[in-house]
Amino acid sequence: MKAVEIPFAPSLADRMQRGDLFTEKCPSREILKHVTSRWGVLLLVALLSGTQRFSDLRRKVNGISEKMLAQTLQWLESDGFVERISYPVVPPHVEYTLTQSGTEIAKKVEALADWIELNLPEIIAAQIQKSEQ
| 34-93 residue pLDDT tens | 999 999 999 999 999 999 999 999 999 999 999 999 999 999 999 999 999 999 998 889
φ/ψ of 98, rounded to 5, equals -80, 140
- 104 pLDDT tier (thresholds 50, 70, 90): very high
Element (H, E) at 87: strand 82-87
pLDDT reported for residue 25: 83
Q: How far apart are the first and last CA of the chain?
A: 61
90 burial (CB, 10 Å; 0-12 / 13-18 / 19+) is exposed
* pLDDT at residue 4 greater than cutoff 60: no
Q: What residues does each domain of the chain span?
A: 24-131
| The CATH fold of domain 24-131 | Arc Repressor Mutant, subunit A (1.10.10)
At 71, the amino acid letter reads Q
